[in-house]
Amino acid sequence: MSPYLAEFIGTLILVLLGDGVVAGVILKESKAEHAGWMVIVTGWGIAVMLAIYAVGAVSGAHINPAVTLALASVGAFPWEQLPGYWAAQLLGGIAGAALVWLHYYPHWQKTESQATKLAVFCTTPAIRNLPANLFSEFLGTAVLVFGLLVIGANRFTEGLNPLVVGLLIISIGVSLGGTTGWAINPARDLGPRIAHFLLPIAGKGSSDWSYAWIPVIGPLLGGLAGAFLYHSLF
């Protein structure tokens, strides 16, 4: 398997299980409806863990353009592979979101709220304040990349690293995710947002493109900051 295909598959798994848990919790007449924030946060952490287990040995399981850019910025990843990784991650996000739409197909008609349908696919802020929202995504991704580098510098029992990374995702979600929904990953947000725009979702509304740049620019800048901070300290 090529690393580009691995990034596509890894991001597909991430979004399928991550957006899938959101759909289960917020779409009408799902058996998991109203299960709550902790179920969503835990589901995303497990989704990241499983995606890393699936493709980590092939591509490093970046599954996040901000991680790829951050690693390239400190010489830990070749710049020439960055465009291919980004493309694979974005396409994986679109494909994973499309599968979530198919899986929950009868529930879109039952769910009246357009905002709820959009929230399955991509993030929306709890309070719409673009500078604050941008900072939230910046800080969350800085913590993510710094945390990944710290975790990578430690020795664990073989195969344990993805589990620890999953716990990192849960920690960021619990502590910092309540403001914007903690995208901290441009492909996780932009890919499904494109899917929302393209798919014939029953009763859907706007894809909220005026906000779409926040969970792209914030994570990219935050990832660079997290990598810079780590390499400045260690």
pLDDT in tens, 11-27: 999 999 999 999 999 99
Q: What is the pLDDT of residue 30?
A: 98
Instruction: State the Cα torsion 108-114-115-118 to the nearest 10°.
Output: 50
The number of folded domains in the chain is 1
> What CA–CA distance (Å, rounded) separates 4 from 113?
36
Which structure tokens are listed for 28?
A: 């009408």
The radius of gyration of the chain from alpha carbons, rounded to an integer in Å, stands at 17
Per residue in 124-180, pLDDT tens?
A: 999 999 999 999 999 999 999 999 999 998 888 778 999 999 999 999 999 999 999
Angle CA(179)–CA(180)–CA(186) in degrees, nearest 5? Answer: 150
Is 207 strand, coil or helix?
coil
- For residue 194, give its domain range: 3-233
8-state DSSP, 123: -
Q: Report the CATH number at residue 229.
A: 1.20.1080.10
Quote the pLDDT of residue 174. 98
DSSP annotation of 135:
H
Q: Could you tell me the two tokens for 214?
A: 């926040």
pLDDT bucket at 93, cuts 50 / 70 / 90:
very high
Q: For all residues of the chain together, what is the average pLDDT?
A: 97
Per-residue b or e along 131-152, where b marks 16 or more CB atoms closer than 10 Å to that residue's CB: eebbbbbbbbbbbbbbbbbebe
